[in-house]
């Protein structure tokens, strides 16, 4: 499994699309200064990783952008990038089946039915295999308490729009509830969103594409405490 870095140059629009992907070796060698020096109104690159090429359509990520926030520049951005790099690598080691991406100063973990957290057809309960994966992820999240966590649910296009919206909501809430009620993560760290079938990342006309679209994203971003601590350490307060 590879950790991917998307090297993004945010332009004036809030929701820029992803422009480049590099491999796990690049994760180890890429310049955190490059990743941390760009300042944006909202982290459009992370939104692009969550909702594919559908930015600007219904469910355009406005609320998600507010949760994710902007990219911190300068030395503080480098310090934040270092911490997020380390956390991404630990997730990759703990959960080798997951797709882990370092995007801007956040981490996007994507689970589908082939990568650790999945749901039986028309179900939204957390099965035993998914519990094992979420338990491992919780262990890493507990090591980095100065982060916020966004859980985003999606479905394929099978079924009605209304049904799929409810199903994605229930699945996203099931993951969030598991983190809070079973694993004891603070609810103040978590935000839940869902898009039903509205944000596909693959072709719903194929079995493989539908499997990719039935997914849950876990987004990890620095919270205000991490940002302020980095600014203080960098002498930028």
pLDDT in tens, 109-155: 999 887 888 887 788 999 898 999 999 999 999 999 999 999 999 99
Q: What is the mean pLDDT of residues 196-204?
A: 90
More confident residue, 70 or 221: 221
pLDDT at 165 over 50: yes
Tell me the two tokens of residue 208.
């493989």
pLDDT of residue 53: 55
Domains and CATH numbers, the chain: 3-233 (3.30.1330.60)
Q: What is the mean pLDDT of residues 74-83?
A: 91
pLDDT of residue 33: 30
Q: What is the mean pLDDT of residues 73-97?
A: 92
pLDDT of residue 13: 22
Own/partner long-range contacts of 11-15 (Cβ < 8 Å, ≥24 apart):
13/44, 14/40, 14/41, 14/42, 14/44, 14/65, 15/42, 15/44, 15/47, 15/48, 15/55, 15/56, 15/60, 15/61, 15/65
Mean pLDDT lowest among 36-45, 46-55, 140-149? 36-45
C-alpha torsion sign, points 34, 40, 43, 44 = negative
Mean pLDDT lowest among 9-13, 113-117, 195-199? 9-13
Q: What is the mean pLDDT of residues 209-237?
A: 89
Closest to 115 measured CA to CA, from 185, 37, 40, 218: 218
pLDDT of residue 71: 76
pLDDT of residue 55: 46
CA distance 74 to 55: 28
């Amino acid at each position: 499994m590879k950790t991917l870095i998307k090297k993004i140059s945010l332009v004036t629009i809030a929701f820029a699309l992803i422009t480049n992907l590099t491999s796990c070796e690049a994760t180890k060698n890429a310049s955190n200064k490059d990743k941390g020096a760009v300042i944006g109104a909202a982290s459009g690159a992370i939104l692009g990783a969550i909702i594919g090429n559908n930015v600007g359509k219904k469910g355009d990520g406005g609320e998600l952008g507010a949760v994710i926030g902007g990219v911190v520049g300068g030395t503080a951005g480098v310090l934040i990038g270092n911490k997020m790099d380390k956390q991404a690598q630990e997730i990759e080691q703990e959960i080798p089946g997951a797709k882990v991406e370092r995007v801007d100063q956040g981490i996007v973990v994507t689970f589908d039915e082939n990568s650790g957290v999945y749901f039986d057809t028309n179900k939204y309960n957390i099965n035993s295999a998914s519990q094992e994966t979420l338990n491992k992820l919780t262990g890493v999240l507990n090591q980095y308490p100065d982060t916020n966590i966004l859980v985003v649910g999606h479905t394929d296009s099978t079924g009605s729009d209304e049904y799929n919206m409810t199903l994605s909501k229930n699945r996203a809430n099931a993951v969030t509830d598991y983190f809070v009620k079973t694993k004891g993560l603070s609810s103040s760290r978590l935000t839940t969103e869902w898009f039903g079938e509205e944000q596909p990342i693959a072709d719903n006309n194929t079995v493989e594409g539908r499997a990719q679209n039935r997914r849950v994203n876990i987004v990890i971003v620095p919270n205000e405490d991490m940002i302020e601590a980095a600014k203080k350490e960098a002498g930028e307060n």
